[in-house]
Chain A
Amino acid sequence: MSPFRYLFIKEFKQFMSNPFMPMVLVLLPLLLMLLVPLAANMEVREIKLTVVDRDCSALSARLVDRISKSGYFRAGPSCMTYPQAMEKMRKGEADIILEIPYGMEKALESGKDMEIYIAANAVNSTKGSIGGGYLSSIVSDFSAELSGREGHDASVPLKIVPQYRYNPHLDYRLFMVPALMIVVIILVGGFFPTLSIVSEKENGTIEQINVSPVRKRDFILSKVLFYGILGVFAFTLAILIAHFVYGLASHGGLAEIYVGAMIFLVFMAGFGLMISNYSETMLQAVFMMLFFVLIFMLMSGIFTPVSSMETWSQYVTYALPTRYFVNILRAVCLKGSQFSDLAFDYAMLSGFAVVINVLAVVTYRKQR
């Protein structure tokens, strides 16, 4: 048996000797995948609406009724004046103000144009902009109906019919669940090997390894391989939850997903090991890892699409291996892409994985 086999067995026995680590390995994907999609829902509902109805006509009442039936808004009591409504918004009791001008019904009957005023609180920018969007589309639907019914065919406004491909219901969970699967890989694949080497440093056991003839690449590879397998295990848990709990059926093959995940795990392990080569203590390693993990998570299109970033930062994302894995996972899951469609992403990801692991071996110094 080669020294590598012994090192690998050693990792396994050490991991199993402390029930805490296997527990983390199971609980982390479980909790992350089960709790976060329920809590961190970005769908906008329950928008607090305040109507300033200066018209007080049958038509304005119909409009308000129509809005509250849409299900997105919760209409509070109407206000008489706009300043009163603003006061409510200041207190946080209103997200959106809809002002119906005096004489709307009359003006419309006589074929004149009227302007309806919408003010949205954009402190919570998502709620503000999405709510404003919903409201204006309801109002324009309403006006289209009116003009249609009253025979002004020519003035029927052009209706924009958005067609959302691949996620037709715009279900936020379909976006969130793959993102969390990536987070699981980053956390398990990155932190476990980092902590394992740094704890060898803190316990002094690395000295007994360094004074032995073991080859650096055997030592590093034993960690990459072992923690890579743990990562695949955690990822599999995440996939099972995605499938059975959220009904996320991948449009693409599992092979594409797993190959991507494995390459990415090799990268994360190598990256963590390199960090631990430069850290003397657990604290140092954790902070350094956290710094990079946050960049990986926030800048690779996991939660916010790369295409909506600033141009300069879009270029930066090419230097983040996470970007390629995020691409692969989304494309395979949502579009059913295959290896050939994603050759560039696989190639870049593999390149990063190889380079970082070579660096991890080179920066590991047995003799100082």
Chain B
Amino acid sequence: MIDKGDNVIEVRNLTKKFGDFTAVDNITFEVHKGEIFGFLGANGAGKTTAMKMLTGLSFPTSGEGKVAGFDVWTQSELIKKHIGYMSQKFALYGDLTVKDNLDIFAGIYGVPPRQSGKRIAELLDRLSLAGERDTLVRDLPQGWKQKLAFSVAIVHKPEIMFLDEPTGGVDPSARRQFWELIYEAVDEGITAFVTTHYMDEAEYCGRISMMVDGRIDALDSPSALKRKYGAASVAEVFEILARGAKRQD
């Protein structure tokens, strides 16, 4: 299904400008099948904008990109069939129940009803949301909402899941649990593309890219980056890179 080697995402010189402002500046990278790719950067570095171009929500200004083998310019609707997406801002129907939300999105992605029932039961179980299947989503605590958004992103077993700040606003122990869920999904064969600004989470990723002012300034495995910059942690690597940053939070 992937046309070139085992890359599920290939991006060349991708750029997005809003007027004079270059949100994403000429980025180039690949994501391999089955890996956890960490997309790191400060707030406002351009992570979400880049992700929106890859998920077919936004057109690039220039450059090329292929996701799951489909072109971001011309085949965005085909890309959408093969990916799952968890928005940074909670984007599910608060006035519907947990079960309704899962049913609807499984249906929209064309999961056959017989399979979707099983899949939804299994996901609710895995996320310990089984007791909340008939709760209105708006009544769930923040952390649970995020778990639900995550399960919606993988209900149809996509090739790639795009998770935009999945652990934002969640306490550290819940964050670790969340990463366990991500690992489980990756074990199912889903490639993970995760943005975060928590540098400690970078250690959970196979490879990470560091975005500063819309550019990717570094890309490698966490250990290779630490070696290269002589740093004790990924946070330190990021500090070294971010010194040159012009954009403020």
Whether, in the assembled complex, A137 has its beta carbon less than 8 Å from a beta carbon of chain B, the answer is no
Whether, in the assembled complex, B130 has its beta carbon less than 8 Å from a beta carbon of chain A, the answer is no
Asked if A211 contacts B56 (CB within 8 A), the reply is yes
| Whole-angstrom distance between the Cβ of A136 and the nearest chain B Cβ | 63
Chain B 53-76 residues near chain A, CB threshold 8 A: 55-59, 76
Chain A 197-240 residues near chain B, CB threshold 8 A: 203-205, 207-214
| Whole-angstrom distance between the Cβ of A192 and the nearest chain B Cβ | 15
CA distance A10 to B100 in the complex (A): 8
CA distance A3 to B105 in the complex (A): 9
Number of interface residues of B (CB under 8 A): 32
Whether, in the assembled complex, B39 has its beta carbon less than 8 Å from a beta carbon of chain A, the answer is no
Whether, in the assembled complex, A108 has its beta carbon less than 8 Å from a beta carbon of chain B, the answer is no
Whether, in the assembled complex, A163 has its beta carbon less than 8 Å from a beta carbon of chain B, the answer is no
**Among the listed stretches A11-19, A96-104, A165-173, A343-351, which one makes contact with chain B, having 4 or more residues with CB under 8 Å of it?**
A11-19
| Whole-angstrom distance between the Cβ of B120 and the nearest chain A Cβ | 13
Digit string of B95-126 for contact with A (CB within 8 Å is 1, else 0)? 11000100111011110010000000000000
- Return chain A residues, CB-CB under 8 Å to B92: 205, 208
Chain B 129-152 residues near chain A, CB threshold 8 A: 136, 152
Asked if B85 contacts A208 (CB within 8 A), the reply is yes
- Nearest residue (CB) in A for B84 is A211
- Return chain A residues, CB-CB under 8 Å to B90: 204
Whether, in the assembled complex, A335 has its beta carbon less than 8 Å from a beta carbon of chain B, the answer is no
Whether, in the assembled complex, B1 has its beta carbon less than 8 Å from a beta carbon of chain A, the answer is no
Whether, in the assembled complex, B93 has its beta carbon less than 8 Å from a beta carbon of chain A, the answer is yes
Q: Find B93's partner among A14, A212, A213 (CB 8 Å cutoff).
A: A14
Whether, in the assembled complex, A144 has its beta carbon less than 8 Å from a beta carbon of chain B, the answer is no
- A210-B57, A211-B55 known; A205-B91 Cβ under 8 A: yes
CA distance A10 to B97 in the complex (A): 11
- Nearest residue (CB) in A for B72 is A367
Q: Find A10's partner among B85, B87, B104 (CB 8 Å cutoff).
A: B104
| Whole-angstrom distance between the Cβ of B158 and the nearest chain A Cβ | 10
- A6-B103, A13-B96 known; A212-B136 Cβ under 8 A: no
| Whole-angstrom distance between the Cβ of A336 and the nearest chain B Cβ | 45
- A1-B107, A9-B104, A368-B58 known; A211-B80 Cβ under 8 A: yes
Whether, in the assembled complex, B81 has its beta carbon less than 8 Å from a beta carbon of chain A, the answer is yes
CA distance A366 to B77 in the complex (A): 9
CA distance A155 to B114 in the complex (A): 93
Asked if B91 contacts A6 (CB within 8 A), the reply is no
| Whole-angstrom distance between the Cβ of A49 and the nearest chain B Cβ | 60
- A10-B93, A203-B94, A212-B80 known; A366-B56 Cβ under 8 A: yes
Asked if B87 contacts A207 (CB within 8 A), the reply is yes
CA distance A17 to B96 in the complex (A): 7
Whether, in the assembled complex, B247 has its beta carbon less than 8 Å from a beta carbon of chain A, the answer is no
Chain A 315-368 residues near chain B, CB threshold 8 A: 366-368
Whether, in the assembled complex, A66 has its beta carbon less than 8 Å from a beta carbon of chain B, the answer is no
Digit string of B31-52 for contact with A (CB within 8 Å is 1, else 0)? 0000000000000000000000
- Return chain B residues, CB-CB under 8 Å to A5: 107
Whether, in the assembled complex, A7 has its beta carbon less than 8 Å from a beta carbon of chain B, the answer is yes
Asked if B104 contacts A6 (CB within 8 A), the reply is yes
Asked if A367 contacts B104 (CB within 8 A), the reply is no
Whether, in the assembled complex, B17 has its beta carbon less than 8 Å from a beta carbon of chain A, the answer is no
Q: Find A213's partner among B59, B96, B103, B109 (CB 8 Å cutoff).
A: B109
Asked if A205 contacts B57 (CB within 8 A), the reply is no
- Return chain A residues, CB-CB under 8 Å to B100: 10, 13
Asked if A213 contacts B57 (CB within 8 A), the reply is no
Asked if A213 contacts B107 (CB within 8 A), the reply is no
Q: Find B57's partner among A3, A17, A367 (CB 8 Å cutoff).
A: A367
- Nearest residue (CB) in A for B86 is A208
Q: Find A207's partner among B91, B95, B103, B107 (CB 8 Å cutoff).
A: B91
Q: Find B108's partner among A6, A17, A203 (CB 8 Å cutoff).
A: A6
- A10-B104, A213-B109 known; A17-B152 Cβ under 8 A: no
- Return chain A residues, CB-CB under 8 Å to B56: 211, 366-367
Chain A 170-210 residues near chain B, CB threshold 8 A: 203-205, 207-210
- Return chain B residues, CB-CB under 8 Å to A1: 107, 113
Listed from nearest, the 10 A-B pairs whose CB atoms lie closest are A6-B107, A208-B91, A213-B80, A211-B85, A17-B95, A213-B81, A204-B91, A3-B108, A207-B91, A204-B89
In addition to A14-B95, A211-B83, A212-B108, 5 A-B residue pairs with Cβ atoms within 8 Å of each other are A7-B104, A7-B108, A9-B104, A10-B93, A207-B57
